[in-house]
Amino acid sequence: MAAENQRVLVPPKRANTDYPLIDSDPHLRRVIRYARPSDYAVAGGMAAISPLAFWVMERVSPSHVGKGGFPPLMRLATAIGLLGGLHIFYQRSCNRFYGFTENSREVEMDMREMVDKVKKGEPLYGTSKLSPYLQSVAARNSRYSELFVHVLPWFNIVNHNHHGVDTAKYYQQAERELEAERLAKAQSA
């Protein structure tokens, strides 16, 4: 009976990329933490384009909407710019997790973060109050969701262990570092 209730998780499909896959379903907090300063700059520039372009168009060819017509339209243009800036920010960071763009900095950050967690005995991807089945459902629903986020905003906010990468590399690196620390300690004593 127990065997009937177990579900087989289909492994995530790996995209053929030029750079290594870090995570096929990065948590929202992790995407923000791993963002580069250039992501913030591009996002800020993209957010400023919409209200700036709207202001320039109003100066070049006035709409003559009257005294109360321009501010609400400017607020709308600013809101659209902010949403566009957030979208480009999230997209640029996620593309590096997926290996679509150059990600050597993020690969190093990921290795350091995960090896430190292994050394401390912490779970790699955090703990969750959800059942393992619901964690796998959340993973299947949000894996590579960034590719369609412009249509349906969907982010991974669930801690789970279904990220499309072999976690053995973290444990092997942690073992190597612990062995090196033991040897250094033995030599200094």
Q: In this predicted model, what pLDDT tens digit does every residue of 161-189 receive, in sequence order?
A: 988 888 999 999 999 999 999 998 888 87
Dihedral class, residue 110 (left if φ above 0, else alpha if ψ from -120 to 50, else beta): alpha
Residue 9 lies in a domain: no
Q: In this predicted model, what pLDDT tens digit does every residue of 90-136 receive, in sequence order?
A: 999 999 999 999 999 999 999 999 999 999 999 999 999 999 999 98
Residue 120 lies in a domain: yes
CB atoms within 10 A of CB 105: 11
Residue 4 lies in a domain: no
Residue 172 lies in a domain: yes
Q: In this predicted model, what pLDDT tens digit does every residue of 133-156 receive, in sequence order?
A: 999 899 989 999 998 988 998 999
Residue 11 lies in a domain: no
HEC profile of 130-153:
CCHHHHHHHHHHHCCHHHHCCCCC
Residue 6 lies in a domain: no
Alpha-carbon distance 156 to 128, whole Å? 13
| Side chain identity, residue 189 | A
CA torsion through residues 165, 179, 112, 101, sign: negative
Per the structure, the complete domain to which residue 96 belongs is given by 21-188
By C-alpha distance, which of 32, 21, 173, 25 is closest to 89?
32
DSSP string, 113-128: HHHHHHHHT--TT---
Residue 138 lies in a domain: yes
Q: How far is CA 151 from CA 111, 115, 148, in A?
A: 32, 36, 6
- Whole-model pTM: value is 0.84
Task: Name the token pair of 6.
Answer: 């177990």
Residue 16 lies in a domain: no
* Domains in the chain, number: 1
